[in-house]
Amino acid sequence: MGQLDTKTIAQMILPRWGNWDVGDQTSLSSSPSSSHINSIESYNKADITIAFYSGDHGDGGPFDRPLGQLAHTFEAPTGMFHFDSDENWEVEGELLKLPSRVVTSVDLESVAVHEIEHLLGLGHSTYKQFVMYATLSTLARKILLKRDDITGIQSIYGGNTKTTIPNLPPIVVAPFCLPFFMVVVALVNNIFL
């Protein structure tokens, strides 16, 4: 089974021409831990599609420039998840491409976890330490789910009856958040998702 490492992601963000590669889809279906995953042979039939794009890519949310809009998602049934391929993405401390001038980089996994939670239906949190907080400082890494993230998902999809979650202050969702589309702005080393 492949690994999501620097080399793989660097290959993924290269511009694509024509159709996406379709393999035999056997690695997922043969894994006992992923037996609930249905393999498909068409990118267009997937419930969630993940892609790297640059500039205007036809969904009404064009990417702008590095440290502008990093990524955006559209909830089901659309299920689109787009990264800006012009960003200086970092995975496990390594840059995925070597731009002519590196001002700063953004942790790919942190943005992915945040956007996946939007795909699942969550809005932003008012607690800075949570994945769903509306900003991410450059060079920051935020991938561990906190109580806010877990209870939000459980309120939508049901909870795990074997897990105990400590009581924390109530979750307050900022009224300016739109759950179906996110815009990102960078100001003074803070990225607003």
The pLDDT score that the predictor gives to residue 180 is 44
For 14-50, the pLDDT digits (tens) are 544 333 344 443 433 444 444 455 677 777 778 888 8
Could you say which of 87, 90, 115, 117 is catalytic? 115
For every residue of 45-79, DSSP letters joined together read G-SSEEEEE-S--SSS----STTS--EEE-TTTT-
pTM across the whole model: 0.62
CA–CA gap between residue 111 and residue 90 (Å, rounded): 11
Ranges of the chain with pLDDT below 50: 15-35, 174-188
φ/ψ (deg, to 5) at 119: -55, -35
Question: How many other CB atoms are there within 10 angstroms of residue 104's CB atom?
Answer: 15
Strands 94-95 and 49-53: unpaired
The pLDDT score that the predictor gives to residue 178 is 43
What would be the CATH architecture of the domain defined by 6-11+45-192?
3-Layer(aba) Sandwich (3.40)
Domain ranges (residues) in the chain:
6-11+45-192
Residue 115 falls in the annotated catalytic set? yes
